[in-house]
């Protein structure tokens, strides 16, 4: 009897202690958290007044933007700009994915490079990801001039930062068995990677690449804001000239294309990877 | 300096052992009273292995001669697979040394190690085929040690000669009809036989087979053991296989090594043992 009672008592005491003891410290923690949040809101220029006055202004914008500009000439121009946007996205994503494979091979632990190289490459990839895509576009506009080529290069770099890291993770996570068995045949590291590690990671690579394509399409729609090609320029011009109906058309087109690409890539993912099973 | 010296010594020893003056005569009696003058292909000296703080085995020593079939037996988890991986240098040992084909594995350079492995076949317990590639590509990978490079990555790139060699290996395990099937669409027994074909395609001098019959039906199991038997008798291959099938171990092994409690508890010729002796290992 006492045997069953005493652990229960102990547990009750433990739970009481768990609720009582840290309360002073946690009170301080909550207070500090609140202070930080208010400090951030202040820094962000939060103003209730503006929140209160925004619905009428927003309604005004909506009234001026609707109906969207559906003039056939404008639609054709925007349509071709959208085609250019997708060209930038697809070209950049494909080149980026291809270049990511060797980069990932150097970044993945225990494949072909030592820990020092792994660390250096992974740090480089973190840096690439830390710089926003629009900043890369600015850099390439300076380097190669205004136009879609700068945008494509920005997408390439952005894709390497994303796929280089995730391809490396994918390869580290694949079953090591086949690689070990090929090592046992006396194969070189490069042959082992090409014959066991990469085929083993292929479904994960495809999935990651489709995400990269989605990301590239989303990025490519705003590169035009800094003159790196694509439909973004139309958005900027629309707002600068107070041509809100056209700007609204651009926003709707972007939404349709981005949602469309997500659907297509989701479908392709289940189709390709589902079939592998 | 010491590295080169000892590897020179070991290669000289190897030469001496292989020279006509020391013929490959293997007396009937192997095991405890192992004759020192004969062609030693595999030697473990005071080998030990721990995973983290968990000891798996220690003080494992044996010498296996060329053309000898050895059955490695022991209960689940006694370290048979781990021992085979240590012998091939696939995982580092925690102590002791391995000499494989006259080379001390922990002192070999990468290139030397690849050279040795190219002459050794391994059938893993888990088969370890590369999924999504064809059976034929998987078997061709067994030639990568001898023929590095892109031409042996896939059956579509392989030279005619290699493809024929791979097809012959598949025929030996009775799977020639499956050459173009994807490796992840095979039954367990089929994939096991592909793994065997991959291990023997390079005509190895030494073959390690980790439970080669575990997924096979009784008749396919007999076929595979007969194939190994044939390799030993006709091609003088040194075979080490693990098995939980006591009959196989006694019938096809010339010699038995029994692992239990982290030690070699049994090292004797098959002829001197009965199945009752082996059952003791599993208590
Ligand atoms: N990579 C690893 N890390 C940690 N422990 C391991 C590892 N591989 C194996 N072990 C442990 O080492 C022990 C020996 O495993 P091993 O696979 O060699 O046994 P085995 O004799 O081949 O068994 P079985 O008859 O089931 O195949 C087991 O207890 C296992 O859990
Ligand atoms: Mg095992």
DSSP letter string, A62-123: HHHHPSP---HHHHHHHHHHHHHHHHHHHHHHHHHHHHHHHHHHHHSTTSSS-HHHHHHHHH
Contact A191 B143 (CB under 8 A): no
**Residue ranges of the domains in chain B?**
2-128+206-282, 130-185
Residues A36 and A126 in one domain: no
Torsion of CA A7, A9, A15, A20, to 10 degrees: -140
Residues A124 and A183 in one domain: yes
Q: What integer is the mean pLDDT of A130-137?
A: 93
Domain that holds residue A45: 22-51
Asked whether residue A72 is domain-assigned, the answer is no
Lowest mean pLDDT among A100-109, A110-119, B155-164, B270-279: B270-279
Residues A181 and A228 in one domain: yes
Provide CATH code, domain B2-128+206-282. 3.40.50.300
Which CATH number is A110's domain given?
1.10.3720.10
Report which DSSP code applies to B237.
-
Q: What spacing in Å lies between the alpha carbon of B126 and ligand 2's midpoint? A: 9
What is the ipTM score, two decimals? Answer: 0.82
Q: What is the pLDDT of residue B179?
A: 93
Query: Looking at the partner chain, which of A185, A187, A200 has a beta carbon nearest the beta carbon of B131?
Result: A200
Helix (H) or strand (E) holding B33: none
Atom 11, ligand 1: residue with shortest CA distance: B77
Q: What is the pLDDT of residue B18?
A: 38
Share of residues in chain A with pLDDT > 90 (%): 60
Q: What is the pLDDT of residue A12?
A: 59
- Cβ neighbours around A101 below 10 Å, total: 15
Residues A38 and A160 in one domain: no
Q: What is the pLDDT of residue B26?
A: 39
Of B57, B79, B123, B264, the one to substitute when testing ligand 1's pocket (max ligand atoms within 8 A of C-beta) is B79
A184, closest residue in chain B (CA to CA): B117
Contacts of B153 (CB under 8 A, 6+ apart): A191, A194, A195, B137, B141
Asked whether residue A29 is domain-assigned, the answer is yes
In the Cβ-directed half-sphere of A136, how many Cα atoms lie within 13 Å? 25
The series of mean pLDDT values per 10 residues for chain B, 283 residues long, is 45 40 38 50 93 92 92 93 94 93 90 94 93 94 94 93 95 93 91 94 94 88 87 89 90 91 90 81 79
Number of domains in chain A: 2
Residues A42 and A155 in one domain: no
Residue A77 has pLDDT above 60, yes or no: yes
Between A160 and A225, the more confident residue is A160
Confidence of residue A8 (pLDDT cuts 50, 70, 90): low
Structure-block tokens of residue B112: 């030397």
Residues A219 and A106 in one domain: yes
Q: DSSP readout, B193-213?
A: HHHHHHHHTT--SEEEEESTT
CA of A173 vs chain B CAs: smallest distance (Å): 15
Contacts of A247 (CB under 8 A, 6+ apart): A65, A234, A235, A238, A239
Q: Does B195 touch chain A (CB under 8 A)?
A: yes
Structure-block tokens of residue A150: 């700068």
Residue A123 has pLDDT above 90, yes or no: yes
Residue A130 has pLDDT above 90, yes or no: yes
């Amino acid at each position: 009897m006492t045997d069953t009672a005493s652990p229960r008592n102990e547990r009750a005491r433990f739970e009481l202690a768990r609720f009582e003891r840290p309360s002073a410290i946690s009170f301080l923690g909550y207070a500090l958290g609140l202070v930080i949040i208010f400090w951030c809101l202040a820094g962000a220029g939060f103003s209730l007044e503006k929140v209160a006055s925004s619905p009428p202004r927003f309604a005004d914008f909506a009234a001026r933007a609707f109906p969207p500009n559906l003039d056939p000439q404008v639609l054709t121009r925007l349509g071709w700009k959208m085609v250019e946007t997708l060209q930038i996205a697809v070209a950049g994503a494909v080149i980026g994915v291809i270049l990511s494979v060797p980069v990932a091979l150097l970044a993945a632990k225990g494949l072909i490079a030592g820990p020092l190289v792994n660390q250096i490459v992974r740090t480089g990839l973190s840096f690439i990801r830390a710089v926003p895509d629009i900043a890369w576009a600015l850099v390439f506009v300076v380097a190669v001039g205004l136009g879609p080529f700068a945008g494509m290069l920005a997408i390439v770099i952005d894709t390497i930062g994303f796929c280089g890291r995730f391809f490396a993770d994918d390869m580290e996570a694949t079953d090591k068995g086949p690689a070990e068995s090929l090592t046992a045949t006396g194969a070189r590291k490069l042959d082992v990677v090409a014959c066991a590690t990469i085929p083993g990671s292929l479904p994960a690579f495809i999935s990651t690449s489709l995400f990269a394509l989605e990301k590239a399409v989303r990025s490519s729609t705003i590169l035009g804001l800094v003159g790196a090609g694509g439909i973004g320029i139309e958005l900027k011009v629309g707002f600068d000239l107070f041509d809100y109906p056209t700007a609204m058309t651009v926003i709707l087109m972007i939404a349709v294309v981005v949602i469309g690409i997500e659907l297509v890539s989701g479908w392709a993912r289940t189709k390709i990877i589902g079939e592998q099973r | 300096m010491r590295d080169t010296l000892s590897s020179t010594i070991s290669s000289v020893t190897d030469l001496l052992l292989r020279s006509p003056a020391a013929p490959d005569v293997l007396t009937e009696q192997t095991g405890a009273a192992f004759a020192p003058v004969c062609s030693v292909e595999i030697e473990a000296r005071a080998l030990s292995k721990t995973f983290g703080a968990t000891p798996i085995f220690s003080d494992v020593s044996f010498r296996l001669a060329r053309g000898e079939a050895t059955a490695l037996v022991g209960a689940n988890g006694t370290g048979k697979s781990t021992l085979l991986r240590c012998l091939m240098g696939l995982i580092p040992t925690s102590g002791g040394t391995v000499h494989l084909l006259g080379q001390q594995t922990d002192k070999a350079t990468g290139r030397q190690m690849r050279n040795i492995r190219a002459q050794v076949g391994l059938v893993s317990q888990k088969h370890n085929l590369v999924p999504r590639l064809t059976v034929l590509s998987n078997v061709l990978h067994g030639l990568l040690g001898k023929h590095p490079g892109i031409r042996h990555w896939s059956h579509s790139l392989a030279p005619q000669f290699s493809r024929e060699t791979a097809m012959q290996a598949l025929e030996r395990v009775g799977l020639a009809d499956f050459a173009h099937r994807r490796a992840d669409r095979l039954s367990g027994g089929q994939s096991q036989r592909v793994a065997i074909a991959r291990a023997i395609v390079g005509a190895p001098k030494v073959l390690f087979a980790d439970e080669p019959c575990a997924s096979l039906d009784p008749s396919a199991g007999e076929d595979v053991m007969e194939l190994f038997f044939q390799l030993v008798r006709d091609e003088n291959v040194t075979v080490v296989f693990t098995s939980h099938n006591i009959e196989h171990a006694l019938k096809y092994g010339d010699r038995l090594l029994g692992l239990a409690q982290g030690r070699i508890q049994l090292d004797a010729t098959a002829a001197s043992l009965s199945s009752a002796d082996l059952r003791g290992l599993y208590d």
